[in-house]
């Protein structure tokens, strides 16, 4: 049986924030029947107009399709949606699949794998890399991990959302470990780029001219995009909020501690992001880290 024959054409999507909404829209455009749930029902209205069907609980969403994608902000939100009495765990039947696209802790991913397995369900981690514009354009990159047969069942659906998929392993938490590591590298880049921009600017050099050199040398869309956000001070609307960046750095520190791996830079970035949130930057794009450094300099 090939992937096309295995492709489920009905999917439930839970979490319609900056990333989840365009992802669900792309599934609709690709011909999927999409059932949706969001803790703030008003956010579902654009999708309802486009043909999605809204249900009242995560349990109903899981029962409707037996294939659920969750795109939620943190561990607490995901636990509430999955483990509650009206949660996904109680709605999925045998061989149902929960695809988590969120950046969550390694411990929670491992726990959810076990909870689903106890009920003969499957947990698949499909964490996404990219900002809301990439989600809208269906050019995300996806880090995929979980039982092989479950991965194969969801691959066609994930292909609709992405330009590239990295299959990591047979255990869901492996995907979350990789995603946490990637986000830590981005946070580290933001820290070093913020420090460098401030240094050259205090020497009288325009940050935009400095970024011309950086972009020529590194030729990285990550440096290019975040460098432009910093130099142009485009921190609103946030593509990825600073408070979520702090959460992800904390996840990296936690993951490193659990295996006695050194992560000294993580502590520094955590401190600067915490200071930024104290100054009221929590809802700004996490590229506003440069403002945190301005306060500390």
Residues annotated catalytic, as ranges: 179
- C-alpha count within 13 angstroms, C-beta hemisphere, residue 174: 11
CA dihedral 55, 58, 61, 62 (to 10 degrees): -160
Residues 6+ apart with CB under 8 A from 192: none
Task: Give residue 193's region: left, alpha or beta (phi > 0; psi -120 to 50).
Answer: alpha
Q: Tokens representing 231?
A: 């130099």
Strands 122-129, 140-145: pairing kind = antiparallel
Measured between alpha carbons, how far is 238 from 277 in angstroms, rounded to an integer?
14
């Amino acid at each position: 049986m090939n992937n096309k024959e295995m492709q489920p054409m009905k999917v439930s999507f839970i979490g319609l924030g900056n990333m989840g909404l365009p992802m669900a829209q792309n599934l609709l455009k690709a011909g999927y029947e999409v059932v949706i749930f969001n803790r703030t029902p008003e956010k579902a209205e654009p999708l309802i107009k486009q043909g999605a069907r809204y249900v009242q609980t995560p349990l109903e969403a899981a029962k409707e399709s037996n294939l659920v994608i969750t795109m939620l902000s943190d561990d607490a939100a995901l636990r509430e949606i999955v483990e509650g009495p009206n949660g996904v765990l109680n709605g999925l039947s045998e061989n149902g699949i929960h695809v988590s696209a969120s950046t969550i802790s390694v411990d929670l991913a491992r726990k959810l794998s076990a909870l689903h397995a106890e009920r003969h369900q499957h947990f698949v981690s499909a964490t996404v890399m990219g900002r809301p514009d990439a989600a809208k354009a269906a050019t995300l990159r996806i880090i995929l991990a979980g039982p092989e047969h479950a991965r194969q069942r969801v691959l066609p659906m994930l292909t609709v959302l992405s330009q590239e998929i990295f299959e990591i392993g047979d255990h869901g938490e492996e995907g979350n470990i990789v995603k946490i590591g990637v986000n830590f590298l981005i946070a580290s880049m933001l820290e070093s780029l913020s420090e460098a921009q401030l240094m050259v600017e205090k020497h009288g050099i325009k940050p935009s001219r400095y970024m011309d050199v950086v972009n020529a040398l590194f030729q990285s869309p990550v440096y290019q995009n975040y460098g432009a956000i910093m130099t142009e001070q485009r921190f609103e609307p946030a593509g990825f909020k600073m408070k979520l960046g702090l959460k992800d750095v904390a996840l990296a520190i936690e993951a490193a501690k659990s295996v006695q791996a050194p992560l000294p830079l993580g502590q520094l970035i955590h401190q600067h992001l915490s200071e930024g949130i104290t100054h009221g930057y929590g809802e700004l794009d996490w590229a506003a880290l440069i403002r945190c450094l301005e306060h500390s300099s």
